[in-house]
Structure 1
Amino acid sequence: MPQLNPSPWLAIMIFSWMAFLIFIPPKVMTHLYYDNPTPQNMDDSKMEIWHWPWP
């Protein structure tokens, strides 16, 4: 039965996992996010009461 012969499938599995674990993570980690949130001062912010229009 040819599906029990591990020689081609084992190599394919090892090379694909090497690509997922070695080559792809550095490419993903170097991605730049252009919409980073900016920190705000919590001292300057005041709580304002918001009046609901339906009462």
Structure 2
Amino acid sequence: MPQLNPAPWFFMMLTSWLMLTLIVQPKVSSFTHTNPPSYKTPTPSKTTPWTWPWT
């Protein structure tokens, strides 16, 4: 069966994983966020109950 022969796809899989782990991942993880998260405590909003016209 041709799908059991690792020669056509194993080299491509190996090179793509090596490229991902050695080249792409350090470049992506070195990006800085443009909007850093704020550490403010969220203020709870005041909600009013809905008045149903038929009750």
Taking structure 2 as the reference length, the TM-score comes to: 0.56
CA distance in 2, matches of 1:53, 1:10: 59
Q: Which runs of 5+ in 1 are unaligned?
A: 41-51
Size of the alignment, in residue pairs? 44
1:15 aligns with 2:12: no
Q: Which runs of 4+ in 1 moved over 3 A?
A: 37-40
- When the two chains are superposed, the root-mean-square deviation of aligned CA atoms in Å is 2.6
- Tell me how far 1:9 sits from its aligned partner: 1.0
Identity level (%): 35
Taking structure 1 as the reference length, the TM-score comes to: 0.56
Q: Which residue identity is paired with 1:26?
A: P
Residue of structure 1 equivalent to 2:29: 29
Q: Which runs of 5+ in 2 are unaligned?
A: 41-45, 49-55
